[in-house]
Every structure is written in C-alpha cells, then in structure tokens.
Amino acid sequence: MLFNSFEFLLFLPIVFFLYWFILQKKLNIQNSLLLVSSYFFYACWDYRFLFLLLFSTFLDYFTGIKMEESKNQSVRKRWLIISVGINLGFLGVFKYYDFFATSFAGFLMNFGLNVHPTTLNIILPVGISFYTFHGLSYVLDIYFQRIKAERNFVEYGVFVSFFPLLVAGPIERATHLLPQIKKARTFNYGQAVQGARLILWGLFKKVVIADNCAIFVDAVFPAYTDASNSQLILAIVLFSFQIYGDFSGYSDMATGVAKLFGIELLRNFNYPYFSRSIAEFWRRWHISLSSWFKDYLYIPLGGSRVSKGKQIRNTFVIFLVSGFWHGANWTFIFWGLLHALFIIPSIFFATNRQHLATVAEGKFLPSFKELFQMIATFILSSFAWIFFRAKNMEEAFGIIRTIGKGHGKIEQLSSAYPIAAVLIMLIMEWQSRQSSIPFSHIKNKWIRYVTYLIILFLIFMMGAFINPRSFIYFQF
C-alpha cells in the first residue's frame, strides 16, 4: 500500500476516524488499533513476510526483558548476541546471501575455478532493514542500560511497526518514540495542520518531482551508450532530485501522517542540497540512519576522540557499512567509499564541524562563496549518485566514460516538466529552509491557501496515480 495510492487514501481516513472519534481517551485500545492497522498495512505488501516482522518483534521484546532481569553480565551478553545474531542473520539471508555467493564465485574464477553457487532468488521483504534497525537499537540500549525493557507488548509492537515509518523509516529510537506511545494523546489541531502540510509537500515531491524525473532518468541510464553529453548530465542531475524527492517525500508524508495521530517522528531530511560541504550534507541527508551509525558504530569505534588516522579509519568503516546497508551490490559500496573520500579532507583539516547553522540564515540570498560551496557539494553528491543508480559497476563507469564522447542517438526527451518542478521545489524549500514545516515562510493565510491550491493542482495534473511508482527506498 503506497502513500501515493487510492488504497491509502481510503485506509488513512478510516484509521484516523476510529482513532480519534471512536477510541478517544482509550490509550490501550488506540495503541491496539495502531498495531493491527500497521500489520494490515504491511500485509498488503506481502502477507507471507508478516511472520518475519512478528518474529523479530517477539524476539527483541523477549530479549529485552531477559537482559533486564539478569544480573549476570555474561548472560546479558548472551541474550544480546542471540538477538543481534538472529536479526542480522535474517537480514543477511534475505538481502545479502546471493550477493556473497555470486561475489565469491566471481573471485574463484580469477584462479580458474568455475563454481556455480546456489542462489536463493527470494523476494526482499519490504522494510526489513528499517524494522531490524529499530529492534537492534532497542536491545542495544537495554544492554547498555540506557533504557528499561518495555513490558507491554502492544506498545513495543507499535514502536517497531508503526505503519507510517514501517517500510522506509525514519529509523526511530525507543528513547524518542516509546514514551509518546505510552502517553495519552489528545487531538491537537495545530499539530494536525502541520501534518497535513507535510503530507501535501511530500506528495508533491514524490509524484511531481521524483516520478517525473524518473521518466527521463529511466530512459537515459539504460541506454547511456547512445545518449548525448547533455542528456547524460541532465539525467544525473535529475536523478539527484529524483531520489531526494522520492525519499524525503516519503519521510515528509510519514512524519505528517504520524502527526495526525499525535506522534512526532525524528526528522530525516533537512534541506541537504543547500549544504556547503559533504560533511554538512550528511548531517542533513537520511539523518536517522546517519545518527544510528554514529551512535552504535562510530562512537564505539572511538569516534572523533582518537587520532586522525583512527578518525579516518572510523569514517571509512561508517560509509562502507552505510553503502552496504543500502543494498547488496558493489555499486552501493563504491558509493559509500566515494563519500568517505569526499569527507576525509574535512576531517584531516578539522573543518568537518563547520557549517552547523542554516545557510544564509536570516538573509534572502546566499553569498557568492556559499553559492559556490553549495554547487560544489551538489556536483560531488551527484557524481556519487551515478553509482547508486547504476545497475552495476560496468554501467556506472560506462556512463562516466560516455559523458566525454556522447553521440546523442537517443531521441529527444521532454525534460520541461521535471526541470520546472525542481525549480518550484528549490524556491519553496529555500524560503522554508529555517523551518522543518513547509510553507511556514508564507505568513499571509490567503496567500498560503492559494499556494496549497496551486500545489494540489500540480499534483493532480502531473502526478502518476493510475499506476503509481513505488518508493526507491522500499528496496532497501
């Protein structure tokens, strides 16, 4: 069930009506409704994998209680290893087994050994990387005694599987989300309005920006050998906005839907294409994943409290793991490696903590220096996106080589819609860059209402609803 589908357009109002108008002031029943609705939402993708979600939830719920009850550190560690091992085992089998099997066979072929590995060729359960990381953060926080184990299974189940964030995040923390689930919630009109704005803007970014960019990108990338230089460069730029519109659009809608139910999710994007360095880009892009790796991997490795050499090592580890998290393909690993290489100079010269404030804060336009920095950062990130989008390394390097000698055999493709939509988005987000809520810069309510109508008009005129495109991050 896609956020941009008619099914969800029916599902959301029904759950909202039951939640606020039938079950109001009955917290346990409200949470039960959220849990059942979340399982139904997930089952609409593929009910066969619902057992994986249930098993993972029961495992971590039970593990958390056992770790808290035990006073023996070795027993606590044993339970942690069981939980982490099983969760990563499932993730490894479903997401990475075929990759390792074929990669190992390819490695042996270099020595003249022809091996035909057995591959599983199974469907990747949607959202498995996200709900697995929810559970891992929970058991790790209990192990390190940052939180207490949750005894109410319904409340814990909602934390893991709350339907707005279930299939593509943001990756939540028990310290942030569980207290909200356990607390009685009352309808807040202002919060609901903010949620509606986020849903509207997220839908615009998905169906107008991402889906229109995808038409051009999907035509050029597979036929890169026949594309012209300008077509390839434009396809790379449009993919940068496609993946941003797609993923941040999902995150906006997820955050907006959660607000309708009185729940605040972690912010996942903070206008990353207005970043002045790659380090700042990663403080603004997929924030929940970046902070997860920072807290559970980077800091335990020593973080920035170690020598420059170890800081660089830790940075490579983080970005390589981040690339591998995105998918079982060498392209993702190389994408992570590139970002590590881009960010290393800022660590070496201790400039990675610059640009913590919003660009051109309090100003209408950026300075020439800030504009140059933003363009340079966008070029670097767009170059790395080539590997993220390519099917394999051969295609990625082929695209780069072809840019220098494109022949332009592909028929002319219309790019007016996506370019115009991207410009609208950039203008709107630049004006809203100091707020997490879109349209907040428009103070006059009548101008704001007209803006809503224009955005709705563009959504219905340019959006693809008959055969809606899935979100890119559902494959991760």
pLDDT tens-digit map of 101-116: 565 455 556 556 565 5
State the average pLDDT over residues 337-362. Answer: 90
Q: Read off the amino acid at residue 5.
A: S
Tokens encoding 95: 């997401």
User: Residue 332: pLDDT above 80?
Assistant: yes
State the average pLDDT over residues 439-450. Answer: 89
Tokens encoding 163: 């339907």
**Whole-number Cα distances in Å, 221 to 224, 246, 389:** 5, 18, 8
Catalytic residue among 286, 326, 339, 355: 326
Q: Read off the amino acid at residue 224.
A: Y
Output the furthest CA–CA distance in the chain (Å, rounded).
72
Residue 169: the pLDDT is 78
| Helix, strand, or coil (residue 83) | helix
Cα separation, 381 vs 401, in Å, equals 18
- φ, ψ of residue 263 in degrees (nearest 5): -120, 135
Residue 327: the pLDDT is 82
Residue 112: the pLDDT is 60
262, 179 in Cβ contact below 8 A?
no
State the average pLDDT over residues 222-235. Answer: 89
**Of 95-109, 256-270, 317-331, 383-397, which range is least confident?**
95-109
Tokens encoding 195: 């949620």
User: Residue 249: pLDDT above 70?
Assistant: yes
User: Residue 91: pLDDT above 80?
Assistant: yes
Angle between helices 50-69 and 128-143 (to 10 degrees): 0
Residue 106: the pLDDT is 56
State the average pLDDT over residues 184-190. Answer: 92
Average pLDDT, the chain: 89
Cα separation, 33 vs 17, in Å, equals 11
Residue 89's CB is within 10 A of a number of other CB atoms, namely 10
pLDDT above 90: percentage of residues in the chain: 65
**Of 8-12, 120-124, 264-268, which range is least confident?**
120-124
pLDDT above 70: percentage of residues in the chain: 91
Q: HSE-up of 251 (CA within 13 Å, CB side)? A: 28
Which residue's entry shows tokens 């969760």?
87
* Cβ neighbourhood burial of 373 (10 Å; 0-12, 13-18, 19+): buried
213, 245 in Cβ contact below 8 A?
yes
**355 in active site:** no
State the average pLDDT over residues 303-322. Answer: 90
* Cβ neighbourhood burial of 44 (10 Å; 0-12, 13-18, 19+): middle
Predicted confidence (pLDDT) per residue in 145-182, tens digit: 999 999 999 999 999 999 999 988 799 999 999 999 99
431, 211 in Cβ contact below 8 A?
no
Residue 328: the pLDDT is 80
**Whole-number Cα distances in Å, 342 to 318, 330, 348, 376, 393:** 13, 18, 11, 11, 19
